[in-house]
A and B are shown apart, each in its own frame.
Chain A
Amino acid sequence: MVISRRALLATGAATVVVAAGLGGAALGHRLDDLARNVGIEPHKEPDPADDRLIARVAADQNTLLAQVEALAVKHAKLGLSPFVAISTAHAKAVGVPAVVPDIAAPPANRAKAVDALVAAYSAASKARAADSVKAASPALARVLASMSAGLAQCARGVGELR
């Protein structure tokens, strides 16, 4: 049995939409749009703990996306566009908040900037792996486990830019 990317991410998005409906106001109407785009209906009885988990993951991943984007602009020669694309995909999978998170300015020194991004990806990878084990929904567990592996790949990929 092969699990399709579209089906799995759609299931994750359904849970996020319900989280927004239950009071995750920061997630906003864009999540409804995301659900419509993948042709799904919100899950009728989501696990409240999963809703909270997704809201936290969405905040984390969008902060990471903001860090990668800021660093990609400041150090354009690093060629970080593939990593921006991956972080964008991660953020979209769990929901994009209405407000762009505040982040510290990226280091001016190239080596320190790379080190900071490697550390951020590594920390996010470990966090998503731990989150996967906490998830009640098997579909959410898979999305988070896969995301963790993708983040580990990013950590290594960015590290090779040193």
Chain B
Amino acid sequence: MTSTETLQDWLALEHEAVWLYPVIGARFGALAERARTSYDDHGTVRDGLLARLHQLRVEPVPPALSYDVVRVRNKARALAAARQLERDIAAVCLRLAGDSTGDLRTYATRGLRRAALAELTWGGRPDAFPGLP
């Protein structure tokens, strides 16, 4: 897998995050502030990935036509969905860290750190090796 393909996988997850967090915020008032912050953070990352892919003259993957709403039907499931999404982002960033060098590896390492901390925000516990299953 090339680093460009991995960037596309990362972008697909950021599209999902930009969909997920407003849904969580709208459904669960107690999570609204956290959801707003996460939405803003992921929107920024998504825009950065779009810019990188455009620079590479690659057509970025679009958002999916639909996402699974059932997984956020109650607060506990919403928290779990957020943690899982952050873990998925950490995993793809970890893959990119190995597929790349220099600036792109730095970018991937920052993304991995951000996702690992976001997982804590949504109720996760510290782990020795975030991004690894």
Binding site for B on A (CB under 8 A): 1-5, 8-9, 82-83, 85-86, 89-90, 93, 125, 129, 132-133, 138-139, 141-143, 145-150, 152-154, 156-157
Could you tell me which residues of chain B, from 8 to 51, have a CB within 8 Å of some CB in chain A?
none
Residues from chain B with Cβ under 8 Å of A147 in the complex? 128-129
Interface contact A150-B129, CB-CB below 8 Å: yes
Interface contact A3-B132, CB-CB below 8 Å: yes
Q: Shortest distance in angstroms between B54's beta carbon and chain A's nearest beta carbon?
A: 24
8 Å CB contact of B128 from A132, A145, A150: A150
8 Å CB contact of A132 from B95, B109, B119, B126: B109
Whether, in the assembled complex, B106 has its beta carbon less than 8 Å from a beta carbon of chain A, the answer is yes
User: SS class of chain B's interface: helix, strand, loop or mixed?
Assistant: helix
User: How far is B109's CA from A80's CA once the two chains are assembled, in angstroms?
Assistant: 26
Interface contact B132-A4, CB-CB below 8 Å: yes
Interface contact B116-A150, CB-CB below 8 Å: yes
Chain B's interface size range is 20 to 34
Instruction: Give the 10 A-B residue pairs with the shortest CB-CB distance, closest first.
Output: A138-B98, A89-B128, A149-B116, A153-B126, A5-B132, A145-B97, A149-B130, A142-B98, A146-B129, A157-B126
Interface contact A145-B126, CB-CB below 8 Å: no
Q: Shortest distance in angstroms between A127's beta carbon and chain B's nearest beta carbon?
A: 12
Interface contact B113-A152, CB-CB below 8 Å: yes
User: How far is B91's CA from A156's CA once the two chains are assembled, in angstroms?
Assistant: 20
Question: 16 A-B Cβ contacts within 8 A?
Answer: A1-B1, A3-B95, A3-B131, A4-B132, A8-B129, A9-B132, A132-B109, A141-B105, A142-B97, A143-B129, A145-B105, A145-B108, A145-B131, A146-B129, A147-B128, A149-B112
Interface contact A132-B113, CB-CB below 8 Å: no
Interface contact B112-A146, CB-CB below 8 Å: yes
Residues from chain A with Cβ under 8 Å of B105 in the complex? 132-133, 141, 145
Interface contact B131-A146, CB-CB below 8 Å: yes
Residues from chain A with Cβ under 8 Å of B120 in the complex? 153, 156-157
Interface contact B128-A3, CB-CB below 8 Å: no
User: How far is B95's CA from A148's CA once the two chains are assembled, in angstroms?
Assistant: 15
Interface contact A4-B133, CB-CB below 8 Å: yes
Residues from chain A with Cβ under 8 Å of B126 in the complex? 82-83, 86, 150, 153-154, 156-157
User: How far is B128's CA from A83's CA once the two chains are assembled, in angstroms?
Assistant: 9
Could you tell me which residues of chain B, from 111 to 127, have a CB within 8 Å of some CB in chain A?
112-113, 115-117, 119-120, 125-127
User: How far is B94's CA from A152's CA once the two chains are assembled, in angstroms?
Assistant: 15
Interface contact A146-B94, CB-CB below 8 Å: yes
